[in-house]
Amino acid sequence: MRALLVLLPIIFTIYSLVDCAGTDQSAIRNLPKWAWILIIILFEPIGGIGYWIAGRPRRPGGLPGGSRRILPPDDDPDFLRKL
């Protein structure tokens, strides 16, 4: 049990580091990639938690449930094509 408490933060830090290093620089939010890598390494495991909350790219689907932004008719290309 004690070994698990020691290994979990290490495994989480390594996973966060690999995820950050493998993510495209333009997709990472709030800080440059090198800064997130440094934070993850120096502030284990808090740096990894910070990366997952504030630095990791958002999911491509946006909000859960697939909600789509509603466009007014003059901005909606489908509506304008029908005119």
Q: What is the pLDDT of residue 80?
A: 80
In the chain, which stretches have pLDDT less than 70? Answer: 59-69, 71
Domain boundaries, the chain: 2-59
3 state DSSP class of 78: helix
Q: 75: how many CB neighbours lie within 10 A of its CB?
A: 9
